[in-house]
Structure 1
Amino acid sequence: MPEVVTLGETLAVLVATSPGPLRYSTHFELRTGGAESTFAVGIVRLGHSAGWISRLGDDEFGKLILAMMRGEGVDVSQVKLDSEAPTGVFFKERREGGESRNYYYRQNSAASKMKPEDIDPQYIYGAKYLHLTGITPALSPSCLATVERAMDIAKECGVLISFDPNLRLKLWKKERAIPVLLNLIRKADILFPGIEEAQILLGENEPEKIVERFLELGPGIVALKLGSKGALVANAHQEVYVPAFSVERVVDPFGAGDAFAAGLITGLLEGLSLEEAGRIANAMGALALGVTGNIEALPYRNELIAFMKGNSTIINR
């Protein structure tokens, strides 16, 4: 059984090859995108095992994603192909300076039809960590029920739950998202909020106060992502600021938060301190900024070690 199990939607991503409004784009590159599957690939590239639970359309995009995840070494035995619903798609508009806009076509996708019955409890029982994000519960009521069921199974057998709120206001309204995400956060053991979404969820601005409030809700570890300022990682006994690694040029921020989470969970799997795990997380996030794409940007263990020792730079990858 995989050490880490995750659950969520992965989509086909069509990226415009030239910058400008999408309506003028005529050429696209086909990639894949999914927070949870990106996280899973990050875990595998750092030398651990990961499994992914999901649904895909029984179509060409679904078969592409399934083959890609299998080729990356992620266990896909719990991925179901749906002949009645399509694989989700989104188009990525490129702008000058590395900015982009995403246009999602995922309503009624195969993954949005995930239901609690899709989960084999034994698959989670064998893991050390279950990783979830706030994207999945935004897709549909049945997806929310599936996430809640996965958390309940993990709690039953002592599997630690890591949770990234990943607040996506394109998917649901803030008034609905906040209470749902806060309820899920209460069930998590490790939390990965970004500073901006934390401000929305809690109405707090100071990092120390944000971390304190999240710890009071229930998680045992909070890793607050602070962008160029690094991260504030804390538990009930200590609080440590972990400085960011220097990034000379941001090529694509897509998937950086998922890489960060994969780095921190890897550190915890290996028994490292909060500070050491935070350094791995920051390095993974920094490296993810230097390459276009999400899984394309994830480093292998030797690349990560070289970067952390200062023997390589992002711009040269």
Structure 2
Amino acid sequence: VALMFSSRSHQVSGLIPRSNVTIVSEFLLLGLSEVPGHQPLLFSLFLSMHLVAVVGNLLIILTIASLSCVDVCFTSVTVLKMLLNIQTQSQSIPYVGCLTQMYFLILFLELDNVLLAMMAYDRFVAICHPLHYAATMSPKFCVTSLSVALIVTNIYPLVHTLLMDTLSFCASVRIQHIFCELYALLKLSCSDIHVNELVVYTLGSLLFVTPFLLISLSYMLIFSAILRLHSSQSKMKAFSTCSSHLAEVSLFYGTLFGIYLRPSSSYTVEDSVATVLYAVVAPMLNPFIYSLRNKDMKGALRGLFSWSNVWFW
């Protein structure tokens, strides 16, 4: 029997009946709170974090360009839609827009993952093989590595997007999240999601765990080399070089593994709050925990403030 809905119910639920199949036209992003009084506070909070992330990362784009570009794109994909929904008092996001957002979220997450591994390798070469640094980390090597990373990291989100498009969403379109997150969408589906989860556990684990293992190996060799140094000043300088990157790695992988290395059926609202750490907080903290220690960054800040004084005065 064909499903019969009123036109008003179609607008509210985002479900369009077609024969015996319910086709989803949009989802509802519930965000962190549906209380009207909380919306101004949430809007101000996330707008501030987004602006700090974007301005901070754009400012350091010449010093660690690749990671900064990814972080700017990452926070823009997640936060801008949420800010628009809060401002317009609308929680809807089109079905195609939701899948598109999910695609770019996974893509930038993968790129962040790969770039953190490349940065760890950069530190390994600089500390353990300083005389070979220029030859090893040549522009040709960096460009080739980034090109391969861009190709590989586009495969995983594309597979998930195509698989997600085959699922049916017949129960609810209310996503308990601030953006179209993979597990949040899988939990809404009334189709068999074993293939989707298999892709997460196989291809996803390979693409996420492999860079983490490379980072771990790099730092094991780095710490071994540092401990062999005789000068305490040299040890502190070497540790200082790695501290900011280690802080970012800990924040990134701590939330990532805590959420994705388990079945999607166990995904909770608390997990959606945890994803804010790597989707919004980590990009916002990036200019502070990493780049403010960089001499080029400090020079850029001084230049910016000097230019501002000339402009306004």
**TM-score (ref. length: structure 2):** 0.25
Q: 1 or 2, which has the higher strand percentage?
A: 1
Q: Kindly name which structure, 1 or 2, has the bigger radius of gyration based on alpha carbons.
A: 2
Q: Greater RCO between the two (CA within 8 Å, min separation 6)?
A: 2
Q: 1 or 2, which has the higher helix percentage?
A: 2
